[in-house]
Amino acid sequence: MKKLATLFVLICLFAFVAPAQTVLLDVDKVDTTYSKFGPNRKHFVHLYFSYGLIFGKNNEGAKTRVPGSNDFKIGLRYKYKISELLSLGVEANYGNHTFDFRQEEGKVIVDTTLHDEEEIIMHYLEPTLFLRFNIGERGNSIGRFIDFGAGLPIRLVASHFTQNELPTGEVQTVTTSRLSYVQSYYAHAFARIGFNNLAFFYQYRFTDFFTNAVDYPALPAMTMGIQLGIH
C-alpha cells in the first residue's frame, strides 16, 4: 500500500491552549497503487560503499604492500530491472586508489630514495556500467546476484606522499600533487557476487596506471573486496 500522505502528529496536548483542531492521526489519501521504485521494482537507486585490497604481480622496483594498497569508493547506483533475471545498472562513484610501496633496495618508484612510508594516491570520479543476473525468486528485495561491469576512474587529484622520521625525532611528511606521470584515467572490469546489501567484488585494471612518459614497472592490477549497499 502506498499512502501519499500519512502523517502522525503525536504532540503534547497540554502545550496547546484551546486548539480547536488538534489532529493526532491524519491519513488524507488511501490508495493501493504501488511504486515503480524499489529493490526489485523497475527502478532502484541507492548509496553504497566499497573497500578493496589491491594485489597482484609485484614487479621488481614497484613492490606494494597490503592492506596499505587499497581502493575505497562511495557511490550512487541506479538499477533498471529488465526482467526477474536481468537488470542493467550504472554507478557514479568518488573514490581513491592508494599504492603503498615497500621501501627496499631496487625500488624505482618514484625514485630510488627509501622512506619510512611512501604512497601514491589517486582520487577519482568514476562512471561504471554493469549487467546484473539475479538468481532465485524473491519479493521486493535485491536477493542473490552476480554483476559484470566496467568502470572508468577519471583522475581528480593524484598525489605522491612520503613520510620520514628525521634524526631530530620530528616526522616529516611531503606531499606532491599534480603528478604528470599518473594517467588521467584508467579502465577496469569487475565482477561482483552478492546478496541483498552485501557484495564481494573482483576488479581488474587493464590499462596502465603510469603514463608512457616514465618507464616505471607496472603496478598490481587486481582489487578484491566488499561493497555495502545502503538501502
Partner 1 sequence: MPGNKSKTVDNRQLQHIFELWSAMKKQLLYYLLVCFSSALVAQSSGWVFFTDKQHSALPDTYFDDYAKARKDRLAIAYPAASDLPVSDFYLSSVVRVADTVWGASRWLNAAAITATPAQWAEIARLPFVKETFLQSTGTHLTHRAQEWPPLSDSDSVLLAYQTRRLGVRHWQQAGITGKGVRVGVVDGGFKGVDVHPSFAHLREEGRILATYDFLRQDSSVYGYSSHGTAVLSCIAGRYGDSMLIGVAPEVEVVLARTEYGIRENIQEELAWIQAIEWMDRFGVSIINASLGYTNKRYFQEEMDGRTSPIVRAANQAVQKGILIVNSSGNEGDGSWGTLGTPADGDSVLTVGATNPYTDIATSFSSPGPTADRRLKPNVTAPGIVVGATPKGMGETAGTSFSSPLVAGFAACLLQSRPALTPIALLRAVEEAGHLYPYYDYHHGYGVPIASKALGRHTVDTSSFIIQPSGEYININVNEAYLPERDDEDRLLSPPKHLYYHIADTDGNLRQYRVIAAVEEEAYFIEKEQLQPGDILRVHFEGVTKTYTAP
Q: Is 172 in the site for partner 1 (CB under 8 A)?
A: no
Q: Are strands 6-8 and 117-135 parallel, antiparallel or unpaired?
A: unpaired
User: Considering the rule CB under 8 A, would residue 211 count as an interface residue with partner 1?
Assistant: yes
Q: Applying CB under 8 A, which of residues 82, 173, 184, 198 lies at the interface with partner 1?
A: 184
Q: Are 231 and 197 in contact (CB under 8 A)?
A: yes
Distance CA 141, CA 97 (A): 31
Kindly state the DSSP code that residue 15 receives in the 8-state scheme. G
Q: Contact 102/118 with Cβ under 8 angstroms?
A: no
Of 105, 168, 178, 212, the one binding partner 1 by CB under 8 A: 212
Query: What span, in angstroms and rounded, lies between the C-alpha atoms of 19 and 190?
Result: 61
Task: Give the one residue of 72, 94, 181, 208 binding partner 1; rule: CB under 8 A.
Answer: 208
In the complex with partner 1, which residue's Cβ is closer, 60 or 104?
A: 60
Total site size for partner 1, rule CB under 8 A: 54
Rounded CA separation 143/47 (Å):
17
Instruction: Choose between 37 and 106: whose C-beta lies nearer to partner 1.
Output: 37
Instruction: Compare residues 114 and 218 and give the one whose CB is closer to partner 1.
Output: 218
- For 220, which DSSP code? P
Cell 526477474, located at residue? 84
Residue 178 binds partner 1, judged by CB under 8 A: no
Q: Which of residues 35-64 bind partner 1 (CB under 8 A)?
A: 38-40
> What is the spatial distance between Cα 27 and Cα 6, in angstroms, rounded to a whole number?
5
Cα–Cα distance, 169 to 167 (Å, whole number):
5
Phi and psi at residue 9, to the nearest 5°: -120, 90
Interface with partner 1 in residues 130-159 (CB under 8 A): 133, 135-141, 143-144, 146, 148
Q: By C-beta, is 118 or 225 nearer to partner 1?
A: 225
Residue 231 beta carbon to partner 1: minimum distance, rounded to whole angstroms? 8
Residues lying near partner 1 in the complex (CB under 8 A): 1-3, 6, 8, 10, 13-14, 16-30, 32, 34, 38-40, 133, 135-141, 143-144, 146, 148, 183-184, 187, 189, 191, 193, 202, 204, 206-208, 211-212, 221
